[in-house]
Structures are given as structure tokens and as C-alpha cells.
Amino acid sequence: MSSSSDLLIASDQRARSLSRGSFSSSRNSSRNNSPRESLDVPFSAPLSQPLLLTEERERQETKDGRTLTDEQTFAFSLGHAQNDLSSSLWFTYLLIYLETLRYLPPSSSGICMLSGQIFDAISTPIAGLVSDSGLGVKWRTWNLCPRTYQHLIALIYMSTRLLINIINVYITFYLLEHLQSPSVTLALVPLTMYVSSFILTSFSKRITKKFGKTITYIIGGGITGLGCVGCFFLKESGFEDIGMYIIAIFFGVGNSLVMVTGVGKVNDLVGDNVSTSAFVYGCMSFTDKLSSGVVVLYIQNVRDTKCDDEEGDEDECGRFVKDVMTWVPIVSVGVACAVIVALGDKQKQKEKKQING
């Protein structure tokens, strides 16, 4: 579960804004001690509307160039790493632990994961509300953003998280039930994925800057899709031993690109409204937690029939897991790519219209 991951990103944005704000306030006070000028807004603005003053001040303060210190950046990164570690363990090993060591049927283990996802989905927006300040500013700010745009960004984020979560959850079942690999691969293959993702993350900023978010997402989605296709044909190829690690690298690289770009699209939605960013990330996280839990529960119910020890066919069970590893991520990334391309074209048309007057 990664409920705190998005809130950490939001907190990072808000901390940057606060550091800028303190710099702006000190600069204004050194110019003039007058309370009128320190607000950076006309004094004629009605004091009965403090939300407008707060929003205007925040908007102007975020233009200054202050950033987080190295110590603050390290602290946020450390918290984010701890969160992602627990999230990776949850998705990668929970179901296989419940089924192989606690002897729960797939449907029951799916209910266990869904229950955790539901509570995670509910708690994340609540944590965002608590983390943010100024509920009135929050609703006033986000009501200005078109609902359709918000929903499309949420769809991109949800689809991105879904494809990553499905790969993380069923990579172990794919190894055991389809490839029938030795148990050591349950540790080495996910490790290969995460190391590849970590290495690629170091270059993701340069890649995004060079190609833009839309192209970067399509590249990442294409790499992940190639990994899914590899899963479909791997057993018949006869290169299971080395091939699975190559596929793991594809998953690590592709998932890193789509995740960074997907979060970047949410960042674009947040913009300078960092005082409400935790709530926005919480709402986005709500969609991904709930969708992942529901999809996993459905897959587990089907596995309950396909992989039944008494009636199920072992080959049929393996083929089903192979299909899950192939088609669910491909459909998810396909939906996200279609939406992100549509949004990109819409944005270009809007900019062209503004240029033409």
C-alpha cells in the first residue's frame, strides 16, 4: 500500500511553497513595514474575503526561487523510500504468502487484499484533508478546474497504478504457476525490476525534458507492453532462465517512466495550489487503491476455479496467470496512453487558439 507516497509528494510541494513564502515575506517586510504592502495585494480588497487574499498571496509567493535544502530533500526521500518498500512487499508477497503458507484459497486472499485497499483508499483523502490547511481554499480552488479534466487525470493515474500493481502482484504467481521456476526467482526477479526502475529514475528527468510528458509516457508504456508480450511467449521460447530477467528489466524501466510521468500529470493539475495538494493526491490515490483491490479480487475469484487442486488443470492455471500478466497491463497502459494523447492534443489546440487570438 502506498497511501503516504502521494502525500509525501504533496508535502514536498507544500514545503517548497512555504520556503518560498518565508523568503517573500521577509523581503516584503524589509521594503516596507506597512501591513498593507506586505500582503502584496491591493488594500482595497475586502477583508471579509480572507480566502482570496490567501490565494493571491500564495500565488505570488510561489514565483520566488527558494527550494528545499539538501537536508529536507533527504528527509522527504527517506520517508518516500520507506513507504515504497512497504508497498512493494505488500503487493508482491501478500497473496503468495496467504496462499502458500496460510493455505487460504485465492478468493479469500483476494478479499484480504481488497479490505486493506479499501481502508487505504478511505484514509488517504482524509489524511490529505488533515495535512492541508484551509478547507475553504481547497474547494474554491479545485472548483475552478474543469471536472472533465480532473477525471481524465484521475483515469491516467488510476490506469498507471493499476498496471504497475498487477505486475507486482502476479509476477510471483507467473514464475511459480506458469514457468514453474525455482523459489529463488521470487526474490531475484522482483529485485531486478526494482533495481532497473531505480537506475532509470536517475535519468527520467532528462528524458522527460527532452521528449515531453506525452512522448515519455508512450515510450514507457511501450516498453512495459513489450515486457507483457514477452511474458506471453516466454515459456514457448525456451529461454525462461535468462528471458525472465530481461523481461524484469523491461518492466522496471517501463513502469518507472509511466509512474514518473503519471505523477507529473497530477503535478500539472496541482500547479501552484500547493496548499491543497495533499487532498488532490489523496483523491487520486483513492481511485487507484479501490480499482486495484477490485480487479485483484476478480482475478482471484477466477483463479479459485482455474487453480483448484481437485478440479482445476495445472496448465490451465498457468495459462490464466500468463493472460493476466499480458492483457491487464496492456489494456491499462493503452487506456492511459489514449487519454494522455487526447489531453496533449487538446492542450495544443488551446495554445494555438490563444496565439491566433
Q: What single letter denotes the amino acid at residue 299?
A: I
Q: Which three cell numbers stand for residue 323?
A: 493472460
Pick from 177, 163, 307: nearest CA to 235: 177
Most confident of 136-140, 224-228, 310-314: 224-228
Instruction: Give pLDDT tens digits for 271-316.
Output: 777 777 888 888 899 999 999 999 999 999 999 988 876 665 678 8
CA distance 290 to 114: 8
Mean pLDDT of 215-239: 95
**pLDDT of 135 above 90:** no
Is 74 within a domain? Answer: no
pLDDT of residue 277: 80
Per-residue pLDDT tens for 72-95?
Answer: 888 877 877 777 888 888 999 999
Residue with the larger pLDDT of the pair 290 and 27 = 290
Kindly state whether residue 63 falls inside one of the protein's structural domains: no
154-167 pLDDT, tens digit each? 999 999 999 999 99
Nearest of 9, 22, 151 to residue 84 by alpha carbon: 9
* Nearest-angstrom CA–CA distance, 222 and 96: 28
Q: In which band, very low, low, confident or very high, does the pLDDT at 138 lie, cut at 50, 70 and 90?
A: low
* Element (DSSP H or E) covering residue 304: helix 277-306
Identify the CATH number of the domain in which residue 104 sits: 1.20.1250
Q: Is the pLDDT of residue 217 over 70?
A: yes
How confident is the model at residue 25, as a pLDDT? 46
Digit-coded pLDDT (tens) for 331-351:
999 999 999 998 875 555 554
pLDDT at 2: 53
**What is the mean predicted confidence (pLDDT) over 243-267?**
94
Structural domain includes residue 47: no
- H/E stretch holding 2: none
Q: Quote the number of domains for the chain.
A: 1
Residue 51 is assigned to a structural domain of this protein = no
Q: How far is CA 283 from CA 7, 104, 279, in A?
A: 10, 32, 6
Alpha-carbon span 177 to 185, nearest angstrom: 13
Q: Average pLDDT for residues 123-128, to the nearest whole number?
A: 87
What pLDDT is attached to residue 144? 53
CA angle 290, 294, 299 (to 5 degrees): 150
Task: Report if residue 94 sits inside a domain.
Answer: yes
**Please, what is the average pLDDT of the chain?**
79
Q: Which residue has the higher pLDDT, 12 or 96?
A: 96
Share of the chain above pLDDT 70, in %: 72
Task: Please state whether the predicted TM-score (pTM) of the whole model is above 0.85.
Answer: no
Which pLDDT score is estimated for 150? 85
Assess if residue 123 is contained within a domain: yes
Q: Tell whether 52 is covered by a domain.
A: no
**pLDDT of 267 strictly over 70:** yes
In degrees and rounded to multiples of 5, residue 325 shows phi and psi of: -65, -20
Pick the more confident residue, 31 or 311. Answer: 311
Domain of residue 104 covers 3-22+80-356
pLDDT at 310: 62
DSSP code string of 76-104: HHHHHHHHHHHHHHHHHHHHHHHHHTS--
Which range is least confidently modeled, 46-60, 128-142, 215-229?
46-60
- Closest among 218, 181, 203, 1 to 89, alpha carbons compared: 1
Contacts of 75-83 with C-beta under 8 Å, sequence gap 24+, read 76/8, 76/11, 76/12, 76/15, 79/4, 79/8, 80/5, 80/8, 80/9, 83/2, 83/4, 83/5, 83/8
Question: What pLDDT is stored for residue 157 in this prediction?
Answer: 95
* Residues 206-212, mean pLDDT to the nearest whole number: 92
